Structure 1
């Protein structure tokens, strides 16, 4: 299941329209539609916004195998600065979700580097 499928599945599970989710996430309905149909990959910033709009932890929104598609939009990670600057203000559950995802991603990258 790709990121668009997970977002659509959760939106439907919550009985929300694309317009409702798009408004909560601060993106356009057409962009959300493109994400759900696999035509577009959201940036990390928009992925975080969609997760928040759908009350879905980031680890459940993103597949670690898709993370590279999201991160490749910027070669530097300045997009993370607004989030990391106030990380200490985040709810503990959100902090743990991000940390778990990053730990998982790091371990999967290390495993792929060690493959013969």
Structure 2
């Protein structure tokens, strides 16, 4: 199985979509059998098809092509739940300052709690 295929299967299953449902979300532009071939490493999508798949899964294209070993999130990037967090942060630059401060406060507080539990 290819890296793209592995990641496609992981994110598709995490979002609860069947191959048929994913194909439908892409308006049938990519067939069920081709999606299956990608997942099983028998085919590779063109960049245009990868963009369609990523958009249908509400996932950045970079998720499929980034080598997770080189990522700052290397231990979690392959965790399908983590992708949902990344998706929520896609528009972070457009958040108002109060929302940004609230998120930062939460993350700092969570770290303090985690650190105190490990002592």
* TM-score interval, smaller chain: 0.5 to 0.7
Q: Which has the higher helix share?
A: 1
TM (norm. structure 2) is: 0.51
Alignment partner, residue 6 of structure 1: 7
Aligned positions of 1:83-98 closer than 5 A = 93=90
Q: CA deviation at 1:63?
A: 3.3
Alignment partner, residue 47 of structure 1: 50
- Aligned partners of 1:8 and 1:41: how far apart in 2? 13
- Aligned partners of 1:62 and 1:17: how far apart in 2? 22
TM (norm. structure 1) is: 0.53
Alignment partner, residue 22 of structure 1: 23
Two-structure CA RMSD over aligned residues (Å): 2.1
Residue 39 (structure 2) pairs with residue 36 (structure 1): yes
Return 5+ residue gaps in structure 2 as ranges: 68-89, 92-119
Count residues with an aligned counterpart: 67
Runs of 4+ in 1 over 2 A off after TM superposition: none
Bigger CA radius of gyration? 2
Alignment partner, residue 56 of structure 1: 59
